[in-house]
Amino acid sequence: MKVFLMFSDKNISAKGETYYAKDDLVADLELEPIISCMAQKDETIKTMCRAALFSPLKSADEIRYRQENLKDALQNPDAVRQLYDITVETEKKRKKAWLWLSSMYLSSTFSNAVDLVKLYTEMLRELRLVADRSLPGFRSDGFRRLLAMFQRELDDDYFQTVRSHLESLRDSKGMLISSKLGSHLQGVGYVLRRNDRKGFWTRWRFAPSYTIAPRDDAGATDLVRRCDRAINEATNALAQAAEHLEDFFAVLRGELAFYVGCLNLADQLRRLDMPVCMPELLPQSGSSRNWKELYDISLALTKNGKVVGNDLNTGDKRLYIITGANQGGKTTFLRSIGQAQLMAQCGMFVGAGSFAAPVRPLIFTHFKKEEDSAMKSGKLDEELLRMSRLADHLESGALMLFNESFAVTNEREGSEICRQITQALIENGVEVFSVTHLDVFAEAFLEDRRTQYLRAQRLENGERTFKIIPGEPLRTAYGEDLYRQIFATAK
Amino acid sequence: MFYSVLFPDSAAFSRQAQQENEPECFKDLNLGQVFEPIFKANKDFGLESLFYTPLQNTQVIAYRQDVMRELENDELRGMVAKFAKTVWSLGRRMDLTRKALASGRDGDNNYLAKGRMLDYAQRYCHAVSTLSGQLAGMTLRSEGLRGFSEYILSLCSSQRYKEFYSRVERLRGDFSAVEYCMLIKNGTIRVRKREGQPDLSEQIIKTFEKFRQGDVKDYRQNLPEESYAAHVEAAVLNMVAGLYRDTFADLNDFCKEYIRFDDETLFRFAREVQFYLSWLDYIRPLRAAGLPFQYPEISETPDDLYNREGFDIALAAFLLEKTVKNDFMLKKPEQIIVVTGPNQGGKTTFARAFGQTHYLASLGLCVPGREAKLYLFDHIFTHFSREEDISTLNGKLQDDLVRLRDLLSGASEKSIIIINEIFTSTTVNDAVTLGRYMMDALTALKAPAVIVTFLDEIANYGANTVSMMSMVEKDDLTQRTFKIVRKPPDGLAFAIYIAGKHGLTYELLSRRLKK
């Protein structure tokens, strides 16, 4: 029984691809709020959404398969959530049973394993019932195949067969254990002893005794553990029987988790009255970008309100240089692009009114960083080292986002380093967005027709709109205004 | 009468308020990183507040410096360390056990708790008698350790202690003879003395051995030999007590009589001495790598401050013998050190070392360097560049300025100021203007300061400014020496050489991307 909701021909790995510099990407694009909104405190959703985000798809077919499934999930949210809840419930029940029974892995009693298999069987039945009810509403290949499989493989005869297998194994004999006293008089050196010798019960019937109270869960668990200690060596047998079932539920939960995460995020953005759309992905060789109301989802979630979006309509560009006043929305703009591209690559919707962009199976960020607390090197060295490592992994068709990079040396030198790196990247098929204060660098591409200049908008009266508009760099960064403003309020 | 190994008397001890939170400068100075392994290795002692509380009294600092100097004797340190560790952990556990034994609840006050008390008592006696015997033969110089040694010797020779010790040994012998059997069935445990039944596990293993096919997941667990529910274990032990009445009655008497066997002063010593021991442990590998440590002079005025061969102790933990040592000196009217020069030349490290050394000295610890005179400060203020944080919704430059304003309004002339690479997110002209405002404010403040900057203009500020530069090798401009020396700023920079070193010039990067 294969799940195959993420790919048409394989399961997704929970570990995700080994995406280089993943942590930087998460921090720079502020992905954490997005991931936690998707997860809603569910660790599985978190893990799986991360795995999906960091395994960008390369082929348009793969992206389309997932987009179709996601559209279907958005159309049938209740059924998808029901399926997912069953897998969660299964795990919850399993965990609860684990605690009460002191685990099939720990416990030696056959009945533990039997109960576990029973539990899984019941939950398989629940899945089948959801399939019976909701199959007609689904249109996508992925969901239709899965639900039909439940109906086919898990019919009533099958459950009858399982039940008959489970009716045999019970053990109600008492257990005899010998012990000595340890350092603080606790029992140690347990050995399981035979108790079927002649006259045994005559001697033991009136021995001092202690009975666990009916609601004493800890006491009951203690008895199980006590027995475990005595029979640890002798039991290892039935436990493996339930392993296959457990794995199946884990895979199912994991793949559904991605779609439930998407539902959660879509719900939240709808509440904030922010648009989402299915992106249109152009071939990798493309060089036009076209979007309306593209916004920073993470900022909207953090602010818990509406945020400013930006429009762009370009063709045949490979370098975007963004300049302008501090706090003008440049970093936010950069994040919105990175988020949308990354989400689009894994088959998700994006935070925009409309969005069309080339496939970019690799996205890297190079944002200015806090002093490296590992102290292996100075700041410029750290930035260059980081860049150099990214260069080891960069390939044609990648998207590179720079935020105030190489501004740690003086401006003239920083500009030159930045210009050389940027030039090399764009000539080798890497698309570059660069937010910069390095005036000399910013002005170096004024003659290049494949460079798009953008600027944080500032009105005549000095007010910032947080809009990013086409425009070449202006000089000065308004630092002195800010100084006066801040030190005046101190008085 | 001896009271504390950290303060000369109980009055000084109670005057000093302990700080529970990490001082703000820790992150920037990487002190958190220095102390973290110490806290981790000594988690049980809760040493944090001792390292978070700088002293402002030169006498207490001298008292500590004396104790620490004496503890540098390996033999003495070994004995004290072992004792401190044992007694501290026993003391903390005994507190819990006492609470349990004072409680009326069966769940707490039972034979398991009594068993624990017997165990702790045995280990306590062993530790105390051992150290007392060892110290008896030694001559101690520091006020703190001499006082302690007299204290423990007189404790051990008391009649009460001797009786206590022999009682413990006798009980332990009696309990080693106890053996019993449990029968567990339907939620009930029955107990009898051990009989001769055979080992069932062995028989089962033999019976099922033939089904083994090959490797499967091993479901056996490494189970602790501790009961899951203490009340069940206690109930079992109660039944065992009914089978061995005399032995358990003896234990009851013992627990009543000796409930307060551990000594508060020893207990306090055990924790406090760990402050010295943990630091000496921490710097041992650094010393072994040839790095110098010293007990500095502490000055109440900022007129003449210096350190010879100081270093960044956090960085030294990685670099060891490769650590570069640097001097500093501030002689009236000098007040502000401005460090410029090529990047990754050790400027930040130098600034950190300045702050670290002062902080460590204020705790009474030995500090990096050969010979130093350091300032008795009230507060260290730092300003290092920070990552943008979306939750503040603030720009970087604004953040810089707000933090600078807060710093200046909190500081006094008794403070130490360290500012690293401020105003980097704006244009050069802007940065120079803002930098000058900052220097005016620092001059008016009069507190000693270290500024790291790429702006040569700031290094030329005035007579109270000492310009220092990070240096490069003469033959290879990309090679840093990490030496910081007094020298006017020369405006040279080497950024493009470094880019080349990382393979990031236009030609080199293009070649890499084509592959």
pLDDT tens digits, A354-379: 999 999 999 999 998 765 444 444 67
Q: Please report, rounded to a whole number, the percentage of residues in chain B having pLDDT higher than 90.
A: 62
Specify if B2 maps to a domain.
no
**Together in a domain, B326 and B438:** yes
Domain of residue B77, residue span: 10-16+55-176+260-274
Name chain A contacts of B393, Cβ cutoff 8 Å: 303
Query: How confident is the model over A313-330, as a mean pLDDT?
Result: 89
Which chain A residue has its CA at the smallest distance from B31's CA? Answer: A373
More confident: A217 or B397: A217
**Together in a domain, B168 and B297:** no
CATH number, domain at B495? 3.40.50.300
Name chain B contacts of A236, Cβ cutoff 8 Å: 216, 218-220
More confident: B501 or A468: A468
**Together in a domain, B484 and B504:** yes
Mean pLDDT of chain B: 87
Strand B480-486 to strand B465-472: parallel, antiparallel, or no bridges (unpaired)?
A: antiparallel
Q: Do A239 and B509 touch (CB under 8 A)?
A: no
**Together in a domain, B353 and B477:** yes
Specify if B285 maps to a domain.
no
Which chain A residue has its CA at the smallest distance from B434's CA? Answer: A480
Structure tokens at B17: 């308020």
Q: Do B315 and A105 touch (CB under 8 A)?
A: no
**Together in a domain, B453 and B311:** yes
pLDDT at B37 over 70: yes
Q: Please say which residue of B274, B301, B322 terminates a domain.
A: B274
Encode pLDDT of B204-230 as tens digits: 444 333 323 334 455 555 667 788 888
In the block, residue with structure tokens 């340890």: A182
What is the structure's pLDDT at A231?
66
Q: Is the dihedral of CA A401, A403, A407, A412 positive or negative?
A: positive
Q: Please report, rounded to a whole number, the percentage of residues in chain A having pLDDT higher than 70.
A: 84
Q: In angstroms, rounded to a whole number, what is the distance separating the alpha carbons of residues A54 and B246?
A: 69
**Together in a domain, B296 and B400:** yes
Specify if B204 maps to a domain.
yes
Give Cα A82 distance to the centre of its chain. Answer: 20
What is the structure's pLDDT at B396?
76
| Interface probe, candidates B122, B218, B390, B421, chain A, greatest A C-beta count within 10 A | B390
Name chain B contacts of A368, Cβ cutoff 8 Å: 387-388, 396, 425
Q: What is the DSSP string of A331-385?
A: HHHHHHHHHHHHHHHTT--BSSSEEEEE--S-EEEEE-----TT-SS-HHHHHHH
Strand A289-294 to strand A363-367: parallel, antiparallel, or no bridges (unpaired)?
A: unpaired
Q: Please say which residue of B224, B241, B274 terminates a domain.
A: B274
Q: Across the interface, which of B118, B315, B421 has its CB nearest the CB of A375?
A: B315
Specify if B1 maps to a domain.
no
What is the structure's pLDDT at A163?
65
Q: In angstroms, rounded to a whole number, what is the distance separating the alpha carbons of residues A370 and A386?
A: 13
Q: Do A477 and B185 touch (CB under 8 A)?
A: no
Q: Do A184 and B119 touch (CB under 8 A)?
A: yes
The answer to whether A338 contacts chain B (CB < 8 Å) is no
pLDDT at A326 over 70: yes
Q: In angstroms, rounded to a whole number, what is the distance separating the alpha carbons of residues B514 and A28?
A: 27
Specify if B110 maps to a domain.
yes
Q: In angstroms, rounded to a whole number, what is the distance separating the alpha carbons of residues A403 and A365?
A: 8
Q: What is the number of H-type helices and E-type strands within chain A?
A: 17, 13
**Together in a domain, B68 and B128:** yes
**Together in a domain, B205 and B332:** no
Which residues, in sequence order, are CB contacts of A172 under 8 Å at separation 6+? B186
Closest alpha carbon to A246 in A109, A123, A107: A123
Specify if B500 maps to a domain.
yes
How many structural domains comprise chain B? 3
Specify if B255 maps to a domain.
no
**Together in a domain, B269 and B411:** no
**Together in a domain, B501 and B388:** yes
Q: Do A326 and B397 touch (CB under 8 A)?
A: yes
What is the structure's pLDDT at B293?
97
Query: How confident is the model over A208-233, as a mean pLDDT?
Result: 84
The answer to whether B96 contacts chain A (CB < 8 Å) is no
Q: Please say which residue of B243, B274, B305 terminates a domain.
A: B274
Residue B97's pLDDT band (cuts 50, 70, 90): very high
The answer to whether A488 contacts chain B (CB < 8 Å) is no
Specify if B371 maps to a domain.
yes
Encode pLDDT of B100-144 as tens digits: 898 877 777 889 999 999 999 999 999 999 999 999 989 999 999
**Together in a domain, B188 and B165:** no
> B175 with A173: CB under 8 angstroms?
no
What is the structure's pLDDT at A108?
44
**Together in a domain, B194 and B107:** no
